[in-house]
Structure 1
Amino acid sequence: MPYTHPPVTLFLPLLMGAALTLGASFGAQADATLDKIAERHRVVVGVLLSGGPFGSIDPSDQTPKGLNVDMAEDIGRQLGAQVELVPVLPANRVQFLQQGKVDLLIANMEWTAERGQQLGFVPTPFYRVGGTAAVLKDSKITRWEDLKGQPVCTSQGSSYVKPLTEFGAQLKAFKSSSESLLALRGNNCVAAVHDATLINPLVADSAEWKDYRAITPELNPAPSVIWTRPGEADTQARLDTIVKGWHRSGWLIEGEKRHHITPASPALVELHDKFQATGA
């Protein structure tokens, strides 16, 4: 089923194996990104800033904020490099990485087998998230199967496109989640499907979304990983050490609370316990 919730630790051997297999195919390129970061003392990170607790623009001072931003800044600190944030969208984030416009992606892009064959990634996930749909409170839509034949808004390049298509939804894909949500409010679709970490806070706390609700269970819950170009084995290994340290110290759990990400992710507790116990 596309909405089951296996423990995130079950994904770790799969992710590690996929990363090692892909890295072996591109060994000659292994040091390119890490060397470049060291030489220029700067790491360029693509981040999604279209709204929500993972990445947005603070209206008070127009600065980027969110858990993805915090992670990018801490990576820079641990690498001894300045951090340059480059805003990306679901429609262009892969191209920005492939074209060398960014060194890394921390951009609400969950791991899938297809993406794992196309790009490199850090084996240890930093989060796990699935999708949910924002619908009107008086909507008859209560489960994912109810979207069959219905116009549904989402983002271009979203990992939810495939399962929504399998449910028979008539998709309208937009460049960003903000455009998709605006289309929902304009009655251009009956539901907008995005990460639950974006939708849930909106419908729970925002006055302008008081007439909407989210449906459960989450769609296609998957590990959230940091993305690199294929073959950047040294970069992936260095970042994997950083991500494991975040879990071991509870830094990500603190960040989740600081940014009011709801509901709290069981995956963070699983990974915190795992890396505290193993010391890996």
Structure 2
Amino acid sequence: MQAIRRSVQRAPVWLLALVCAAVTTAAAWALVLPEPPPARWPQLRIGVLASAMPLQSSTRAYTEEGHEIVLARALGERLGAAPQFVPLAPEAFAGALATGQVDAVLVREPLAGAARAGTEALRTGYRSGTAAAMRADQPLRRWEDLRGKTVCVSRAHQGAQTLARRAGARLQLVDAPAQALVQVRTGACDAALHDEAQLQALFLRREWRKFSATLPAAAPAELLLLAPTARPQALQALQQAVAAEGRAPAWQERNTRWAANVAYEAYFDQIGPDCH
């Protein structure tokens, strides 16, 4: 023991200081609790408008009009939670978020303003105006030219419905975007209204060049994710997921995939009756 004391006394001061610092640091680390894992849900409950719910068909599957369902599934996959969709009216957004009926709401402007109190609006990176798909030889150049024309619009695209009514068009509502577009191809509708961002991807396809006449994009709207500020850990997890999924390349890929799916569905609807 005395030999140990003599060794310590003969040790350089700098070495003793280093040992003390190491002991102190180890003790401090022992008191630090591990950082809690990010918020996760057994199911990610996402509120959407009733018209934006996943399409249910007894005959075949259709691609939805907007990107709400696709984005919600991408967020759920990133968060490790299966998304559960809850249909909500705009006036119910705030209450559903405050009571925990839903974890978030996916909705476009201006309806997002219905639940701004106590919520944070996360920008998803998707913003688009509404445009038209028409025959390339169609002599329609302005929205006013739609007056008296038959315009196909899906029930999910409320902004397009408003534009069609404002233009004085005869509105024909359908369930899926492919159902609207096929009627442009067959001549049953003079135009079909959809997001400009989606139509731009569709018009790149060779089979749609004959039907790629359009109108100037109108009424641009942004897709937002509303999340309650009262649950900060969940909010932070949603912020990170939205930031990861909201990059421009991801949206380009979603628009391209939407165009490919809808083009196939419209083609199938058009040739289907001829196969019987």
Q: TM-score, normalised by structure 2?
A: 0.56
2:64 and 2:177 in contact (8 A); partners too: no
- Does the 8 Å contact 2:104/2:225 carry over to 1? yes
Q: Which of 116, 123, 126 is matched with 1:125 structurally?
A: 123
Residue type of the partner of 1:43?
A: L
- Mapped pair 1:252 → 2:264: no
Output aligned runs, 1:163-202, within 5 Å: 163-202=163-202
CA shift at 1:176, angstroms? Answer: 2.5
Question: CA contact under 8 A between 2:153 and 2:172: conserved in structure 1?
Answer: yes
In the alignment, is the contact (CA less than 8 A) between 2:151 and 2:192 conserved in 1?
yes
8 Å Cα contact 2:151-2:191 kept in structure 1: yes
Q: 1:169 to 1:260 in 2, by over 3 A?
A: closer
Mind listing any 5+ residue stretches in structure 2 that lack a counterpart? 1-38, 56-61, 258-276
Q: Which structure 1 residue ranges, 5 or more long, are not aligned?
A: 1-36, 57-63, 263-280
Identify the match of residue 234 of structure 1 among 220, 230, 236: 230
1:21 equivalent in structure 2:
none
Q: How does 1:53-92 map to 2 (within 5 A)?
A: 66-74=70-78, 76-77=79-80, 82-84=81-83, 86=85
Amino acid across the alignment from 1:256? W
Alpha-carbon distance between aligned partners in 1 of 2:191 and 2:173, rounded to the nearest angstrom:
12
Q: 1:93 to 1:216 in 2, by over 3 A?
A: farther
- 1:152 alignment counterpart: 151
1:51 to partner: Cα distance: 3.2
Q: Answer yes or no: is the 8 Å Cα contact 1:180–1:192 preserved in 2.
A: yes
Partners of 1:254 and 1:53 in 2: CA distance: 20
Does the CA contact (< 8 Å) of 2:132 and 2:191 recur in 1?
yes
* Residues 197, 257 of structure 1: alpha-carbon distance in 2 compared, 3 angstrom cutoff: closer
What is the aligned partner in structure 1 of residue 16 from structure 2?
Answer: none
Q: Separation in 2 of the partners of 1:221 and 1:193? A: 13
Name the structure 1 match of 2:43: 42
2:247 aligned counterpart, secondary structure: helix
Separation (CA, whole Å) in 1 of partners of 2:178 and 2:232: 31
Separation (CA, whole Å) in 2 of partners of 1:48 and 1:42: 16
Does residue 51 in structure 1 map to residue 48 in structure 2?
no
Task: Please say if residues 53 and 197 of structure 1, whose CA atoms lie closer than 8 Å, have aligned partners that are also in contact.
Answer: no
Residues 73-101 of structure 1: per-residue CA shift (max 9 Å, x gap): 22x24xxxx22355x9xxx6759x87989
The count of aligned residue pairs is 199
Deviation of 1:243 after TM superposition, in Å, equals 3.9
Distance apart, 1:163 and its partner CA = 2.5
Deviation at 1:128, TM superposition (A): 1.1
Change (3 A) 1:51 1:236: farther
Deviation at 1:245, TM superposition (A): 7.1
The one-letter amino acid of 2:129's match is G
Deviation at 1:117, TM superposition (A): 2.4
Q: Which residue is 2:203 aligned to?
A: 203
- Aligned-partner Cα distance in 1 for 2:168–2:231: 40
Aligned residue for 1:159, secondary structure, equals helix
Flag the 1:136–1:202 CA change in 2: closer, same or farther, 3 A. Answer: same
Q: Deviations over 1:94-146 (max 9, x none)?
A: 59x8798965454xx4211x553279874132121111100011101122221
Matching residue of 1:277: none
Higher relative contact order (CA 8 A, sep 6+): 1
CA-based RMSD? 4.0
Q: Percentage identity across aligned positions? A: 20
Q: CA deviation at 1:41?
A: 2.3
Partners of 1:190 and 1:144 in 2: how far apart? 12
Corresponding letter in the other structure for 1:177: P
Q: Kindly tell me: are residues 175 and 257 of structure 1, through their superposed partners in 2, closer, same or farther at Cα, counting changes over 3 Å?
A: closer
The alignment partner of 2:108 has SS state of coil
> Shift of residue 44 of structure 1?
3.3
For 1:44, the aligned partner's letter is R
Q: Secondary structure at the match of 2:134?
A: strand
Q: Residues 259 and 174 of structure 1: is their aligned pair in 2 closer, same or farther, counting only changes over 3 Å?
A: closer
What is the deviation of 1:241? 6.8
Rg larger for = 2
Q: In 2, distance between residues paired with 1:218 and 1:151?
A: 19
Counterpart-to-counterpart distance in 2, 1:235 and 1:184: 47
Partners of 1:206 and 1:148 lie apart in 2 by 29
Alpha-carbon distance in 2 for matches of 1:210, 1:55? 24
Does 2:216 align with 1:217? yes
